[in-house]
Amino acid sequence: MIQYCGVSFKNPMVIASSPLTSTIDRLIEAEKAGAAGVSTKLAFIKQPFYGKLRMHTYLKNGSIICYDRRHDMEESLKLIDEAKKRTSLKLFANITHDGTDPDGWSLLARKHEEAGADLIEANMVCPNVGLSTRNIFGSEAISSSEHGGAVTGQNPERIAAIVKVLKDSVKIPVVVKLTPNVADIGVTAKAAENAGADGICVAGAQSSLPLVDIYNEGKPGYHLLNGVAHGSLGGPATKLMGFSLVANIAKKTNLPVIGGGGLETWEDSIMMMMWGATLVTVCTAAMWYGWENIAKQVEGMEKYLQKMGYDDYGQITGKSLQYLRSSKDLEALKGWASVNTEKCIGCGKCEKPAHCDAVRMVNKKAVIDPEKCVGCGICEALCPVKAIVMKQA
């Protein structure tokens, strides 16, 4: 069992607030796949617009959602109530208030606590509420009903004020889901901590625009959608940024972190935990590859723990943080790329990097001059048969 904000989870896997968590049938499927918890679909008192799911999906990088249907409060409360009766999942109630008054936040939190939510997840991340408007037209264009999501998550003072209201309103833990669209997420996370937040969640949601059709007047790559807005990015492109965000929060606060963004394999999830996450959260991988992806990740994480001799997940959380230091304190170790000529197939890919003078092909085998090798490691990454390894002098 894992303790997160005083709530027990059977494993680290939480399904992120998304179309995956919008109906009771999907929550039941999430539990069957092995998830320990879910964050229910984003709820407003009354959603500002009624969208339909439209995504730009680019399998090499990720997906962008700029238009989707959320939940009005009453349907969200019904979902929480049903999930409490029909599953053993730990339930995060993902809520946001799009007005400037704090009373809306308080109402949403109290009602969801009464319905049976285990934790409140204050959504200060969604870029589709007001951030998309501001990114196009400027701050003055944001209406009085577009102040939830990422617009709130960019303002430390407003974060603190809302967290205090939430903490005064409910007894269950308050987790703040923060936008990555800031200069330093450590600052906004610290504001939440100082105001009394119990935990932080960060997972993708970088404000993004899609590929366009260069042969059709630059039309954006969304199907069945007229127009385009800045949307929420998820999938592989967000993974490395997610590591950085989680590590930043873990170093600058004492709050437990839920980390996500592009986690497609159990190895990805273990790495996220090593960068400081107590729990992990997944969305895009299940939307692309099905619930079996969740099952594989949960099984893989459990087997990894046993294989490596760890007693619990707490022993791996934050393991990689010990290596973090400022750029000026890094030390470049002398070394070079080395080729296993028996494995080398002579494809020449390692000879391509334009900045490299160390690699040449001799009799259809790669040969590397150690004196010219700068140690970048690109050739190792490019080699399709793993014939190249970096060796320290």
My answer on whether 131 and 151 are in the same domain is yes
Question: pLDDT tier at 343 (50, 70, 90 boundaries)?
Answer: very high
For residues 237 and 385, membership in a common domain is answered with no
Residue 128: predicted pLDDT = 63
For residues 123 and 271, membership in a common domain is answered with yes
- 5, 66, 126, 283: which is the annotated catalytic residue? 126
Beta bridge partners of 95: 43, 122
pLDDT at 131 over 60: no
Examine the domain organization and report whether 119 and 168 are in the same domain.
yes
pLDDT of residue 133: 47
E-assigned strand segments in 54-204: 54-58, 62-67, 71-72, 90-95, 119-124, 174-178, 199-203
CA distances (Å), origin 169, targets 51, 110, 114: 30, 6, 11
Dist CA 30 CA 139 (whole Å): 39
* Tokens, residue 313: 């997940």
- Indicate if the pLDDT at residue 142 is higher than 50: no
**Lowest-confidence pick of 84-98, 146-160, 362-376:** 146-160
Nearest alpha-carbon partner for 66 in 180, 244, 195, 223: 223
- Label residue 70 by pLDDT band (50, 70, 90): confident
Report the 10 Å Cβ neighbour count for 302.
15
- For 276-319, what is each residue's pLDDT tens digit? 999 999 999 999 999 999 999 999 999 999 999 999 999 999 99
Q: Given pLDDT bands bounded at 50, 70 and 90, which one contains residue 149?
A: confident
Tell whether 118 and 212 lie within a shared domain. yes
pLDDT band at 170 (very low <50, low <70, confident <90, very high): very high
366 and 238 share a domain? no
The answer, yes or no, to whether residue 355 has pLDDT greater than 50, is yes
Question: Is there a catalytic annotation at residue 373?
Answer: no
- What does 300-364 look like in DSSP terms, one character per residue? HHHHHHHHHT-SSGGGTTTGGGGG---GGG--PPPEEEEE-TTT-----GGG--TT--SEEEETT
Q: Which of these three, 279, 300, 323, is where a domain ends? A: 323
pLDDT at 141: 45
Spacing of C-alpha 181 from chain mean position: 13
Domain count, the chain: 2
Positive or negative CA dihedral for 149, 152, 197, 180? positive
Residues 264 and 349 both lie in one domain: no
CA distance 144 to 101: 10
As a whole number of angstroms, the distance between CA 382 and CA 11 comes to 35
DSSP 29-47: HHHHTT-SEEEPPPEESS-
**CA dihedral in degrees (376, 382, 386, 388; nearest 10)?**
-40
How far is residue 186's CA from residue 194's CA, in Å, rounded to a whole number?
12
Question: What is the model's pLDDT at position 140?
Answer: 53
pLDDT class for 337, splitting at 50, 70, 90?
very high
**Residues 356 and 221 reside in one and the same domain:** no
In this predicted model, which residue has the larger pLDDT, 139 or 266? 266
**CB neighbour list of residue 67: distance below 8 Å, 6 or more residues apart:** 51, 52, 53, 54, 128, 225, 229, 231
pLDDT reported for residue 137: 45
Greater model confidence, 175 or 228? 175
Neighbours of 240 (CB within 10 A): 12
Residue 130 has pLDDT above 80, yes or no: no
What pLDDT band is residue 136 in, cutting at 50, 70 and 90? very low
Q: Are residues 168 and 225 in the same domain?
A: yes
For 45-58, the pLDDT digits (tens) are: 998 878 888 889 99
User: Do residues 246 and 364 both lie within one domain?
Assistant: no
> Token match 């339930």: residue?
91
**Helix (H), strand (E) at residue 15:** strand 13-15
As a whole number of Å, the end-to-end CA separation of the chain is 44
Instruction: Report yes or no: 348 and 341 within 8 Å, Cβ to Cβ.
Output: no
For 309, list phi and psi in degrees, rounded to 5.
80, 20
- In this structure, the answer to whether residues 316 and 352 fall within a common structural domain is no
- CATH number for the domain spanning 359: value is 3.30.70.20
Residue after which a domain boundary falls, among 323, 341, 358: 323
Residue span of the structural domain in which 374 resides = 332-392
- What's the mean per-residue pLDDT of the chain? 94
CATH number of the domain to which 92 belongs = 3.20.20.70
DSSP element (H, E) containing 233: strand 231-234
The pTM assigned to this predicted structure is: 0.94
- Whether 13 and 44 map to the same domain: the answer is yes
Q: Which of 271, 302, 323 is the last residue in one of the domains?
A: 323
Angle (deg, nearest 10), helices 185-194 and 156-169: 30
